[in-house]
Amino acid sequence: MQVIHGPSIKPSQAFIGLVSLKYLILSENKIEYLPPQIFSTFIHLEELYFSQNKLTSLNLVLSQELKRVSRLWLHNNKITTLHAKVFVHLSQCTDLWLTGNQISQTEPQAFSGLVSVTNLMLDGNLLQSLHAYMFGSLSKCRELHLCRNNISSIDDDAFKGMDALEHLYLYNNALKAITINVFSHLPVFVFVEIHRNTISSIEPGAFRKLKFHSELWLNDNSIESLTANTFVGLKLCKLVQVQDNKISSIEQGAFNGLYSLEQLWLFENLLTVLHRNIFSSLSKCYVLLIHHNNISSIQTGTFCGLVSLKVLDLSHNMLLTLPGNVFLGLGSLHNLSVANSQITAIESGAFNGLVSLEMLWLSGNCLSFLSQDLVYGLPTALQLILNDPFKPDPPWNCMNLCWLKQLELKNAVRWLFQNDVPYKPRCTGDTTWDTLHCTGSNFASGLIQVILSNKIVSKINSKLANLKCANWLLIAM
């Protein structure tokens, strides 16, 4: 191995007597120019490290004598253009690193000759478009890294010939649309990453060739609507991420073809209404995340078809009211959150059909009264989380929560009840609580746990000897 440091190399002196050299490191110098045939003596060279220099061009540098090179590191230079056939002699190269240059132009046949390349790194450059047959000679390439460029358009034939591709990195670019044929020449086993672009539209059928795609990451784009048949072809896909977009509408049939989907992430969008049957084809989905939208209306029948759903997060929306039978079809649901959704009323029968529910988050809403009617049909082991905030005016009236098994009171400094109350904090202002006294014979007779925040426990402090809670268990969190 030969290691050379310095800003310049004199061809008449630098590499005399190094005919058998296999590894050459020229990285982290200030080299701006390499004379033609500078590597002419290296007929056995296998690895060349030339990263972190100031090289602006590769023209005439990569001579025929480098035909044995299997790994070429050229990242973090200042290369702006890849000329035609600049790599034509590198027939044995398997790894080519061009990351972190300033490449904005690739001439036709720039990658000609790279018949053995399996890993091509072009990320962190200034590419704006991918032209037809750009990678046509890379028949053995398994990984193509194009992330962190300025790519806004891709020709339908750009990836033609890449029959061995397994992973295509296109995230952090400027793509605006996914057209129907953009991935048509990719092999069926490829995994494509297209998150963090500016995609606003997807043509139905654009993913039809990605039959073995297990995950689809479309998050952090500008998608405004999911149209019918958007995901057709992704029959084995288990996770779809479309969070952090601008989705305001979902058409009927948008999720057609997602026969194996297990998780759908729709949070951080602009949805206002959930229409009936929009999820009807997702029979295997067990996680649905729709929190942080602007949802104010959920039609009856919205969740029909979600027979396997275990987790539904609707928190941080604008629901105001939960109507009767709104969750019909969710017989397998375990966890439901409607926290922080500005709810002022829960109609009788709102939770009908939730026969498997284990945890229900109602915290952060504007409820002042919980009717006994809302618990009809719910499991007796249900855990209800009502923490933060508890509004002292009007006070909560929870006299009939006999079904309750666990109550969480995190972040609550004072909790006041009227009439037959579970406990009364005997304090004035911010003075230390010296007694936590449970009263009332009918309140939450099945309750076995009270979970308090450390803030409350710090007030109780060493006075726990005065705690009178019958069969309750106090847990500090």
For the record, the structure tokens of 301 come out as 């029948």
Per-residue confidence (pLDDT) for residue 369, from 0 to 100: 65
Residue 418 clears pLDDT 90, i.e. is over it: no
Q: Which residue has the higher pLDDT, 154 or 449?
A: 154
Q: Which amino acid is at 23?
A: Y
Spatial neighbors of 52 by CB under 8 A, at least 6 apart, are 27, 28, 29, 75, 76, 77
Set out the domains of the chain in order of their start, with CATH numbers: 1-174 (3.80.10.10), 407-477 (no CATH)
* Mean pLDDT, residues 124-151 taken together: 97
**Banded pLDDT at 448 (limits 50, 70, 90):** very low
Is beta strand 95-97 parallel, antiparallel or unpaired with respect to 287-289?
A: unpaired
Residue 398 clears pLDDT 60, i.e. is over it: no
* Mean pLDDT, residues 441-462 taken together: 43
Cβ–Cβ < 8 Å for 96, 123: no
The pLDDT tens digits for 328-352 are 999 999 999 999 999 988 888 899 9
**Banded pLDDT at 420 (limits 50, 70, 90):** very low
For the record, the structure tokens of 140 come out as 């053995």
The pLDDT tens digits for 75-130 are 999 999 999 999 998 999 999 999 999 999 999 999 999 999 999 999 999 999 99
Task: Tell me the average pLDDT of the chain.
Answer: 80
HSE, side-chain direction, 13 A CA sphere, residue 141: 29
Per-residue confidence (pLDDT) for residue 1, from 0 to 100: 44
Residue 404 clears pLDDT 50, i.e. is over it: no
pTM, rounded to two decimals: 0.80
Per-residue confidence (pLDDT) for residue 357, from 0 to 100: 93
| Nearest CA among 311, 267, 248, 256 for reference residue 285 | 311
Per-residue confidence (pLDDT) for residue 111, from 0 to 100: 95
- In eight-state DSSP terms, residue 276 is T
Cβ–Cβ < 8 Å for 330, 354: yes
Distance CA 288, CA 265 (A): 6
Residue 360 clears pLDDT 80, i.e. is over it: yes
Residue 264 clears pLDDT 90, i.e. is over it: yes
Distance CA 302, CA 266 (A): 15
